[in-house]
Structure 1
Amino acid sequence: VGNELVSFIWDDFCDWYIELSKVTLSGNDPQAKAATQYTLYVALEAIVKLLHPFMPFVSEEIYQTLTQKESIVISEWPKPLDNEGDDFKQVDQLISMISSLRELRLSRDVKRDVPLKGWATDQDDQLIDFDAYIQQVLAHFVNFELVAMAEVDTLVSPMLSGTLHIINENIEDVEKEMTQLQEQIQVLEKELKRSKGMLSNENFIKKAKPEKVAAEKAKYEEYQRQHAVLMEKLKDLQVK
């Protein structure tokens, strides 16, 4: 139970609930701000109560400071909410979409300031109509704009109870990049072969000036380094 609670506090409340709330709290709607602040307050109060069996003294101090009430011991135990509604489902889908888009940007080396567009469909391939808040969050967190479905080339990524379709623009072409890397590797391998041949030639070592031999050795080491970097990059792309 303690591990589940810690996981909820760090992985759900801190990583997602608080972060998602920042979009509303930084907005211009006073009613939405007040509602968000109240929700965070209620959630934090419930968390402190749930922590009380594990941290009685610390939770008591936090509870009294937070609520200005007498004691956590005589407070009502938190009651579970119905989490089967559409609002809960959309938030879970939102988190899934953000995670998928972050993974896409990381795997394809697409910078945060590069805008992406697309749409989401449910398990029946029907367009999911997200509200304005979710569109704001996607724009804020992953620079992603929800647009209407279109007959364009897209990348697909699984998400909770559906599929995310990302329009294939501003995203590097993996096959093209692999071809370019292979060409660069071939050029480097030719240079490595040439340089190794020179450094293995006793006449070159004896007759060439020391600085020229040193320069060729430096070139060879640099070619090796570049070759290793490109091979690692190619390996990563092949995994994708």
Structure 2
Amino acid sequence: MVRIILSGCNGKMGKVISGLANNFSNLSIVAGIDKNTDGSSYPVFSSIGECTVDADVILDFSRPDALDSLLKYAKEKNVGVVLCTTGFTDEQLSQITEASKEIPVFRSANMSIGINVVNKVLRSISALLYNNFDIEIIEKHHNQKVDAPSGTALLLANTIKDSIPEETQFTYGREGIAKREHKEIGIHAIRGGSIVGDHDVIFAGQGEVIEISHKAISREVFAVGALKACEFMYGKGKGFYSMDDVVK
């Protein structure tokens, strides 16, 4: 049985994960971390430092400012951590990489199986299409999302960029009067309503357009991926892991 501490347990994603965990016979959420400590079937602590329950994996769906305390706890207890939070700074990303030299760390910008399949496809086709196609990414999310562009859009954009031998650059949104340069990879963010998460990658050529789209209909898609990541991380040694290791 994989014992999980769920950080951000009473947030929107935390509640979805708590409900779906019952469908996994080999997983159990044994404790939660949240500023709101009410209303859960397992003990909830206001901070990870107060947690007195032993676990195998920490699953984080909270905020970037929780990173320091989560990594500190994981190192002290020698447990793996699955980081699903987005919006980390470059300094925090370096901190995560350094932590992976001591403990097992799993991080992906998007926990959806589908998005990670899309990412693998982009890795295969981007260099092939680049010479004859302009590349644009459009992401759409609900009006409460605080970071833009989304971590998933950046994941896809970096995969495309890293796959193309020629020099490319990110262009965030467009305004003013200027022609598009071919080396640009456009990234556009839309915020509104209750959109769970839509991502479209557009390869626009002369007389033809290729579009690769992924639409998250429910937050359950991220919860299932996160729980599968916890399964994967059980018993892993120190190192850095991602959904690429789960989706093979």
Fold similarity call, TM over 0.5: no
Between structures 1 and 2, the one with greater helix share: 1
Per chain length, whose mean CA-contact separation is higher, i.e. which structure has more relative contact order (CA < 8 Å, sep 6+)?
2
> So what's the TM-score if we normalise by structure 1?
0.26
> So what's the TM-score if we normalise by structure 2?
0.25
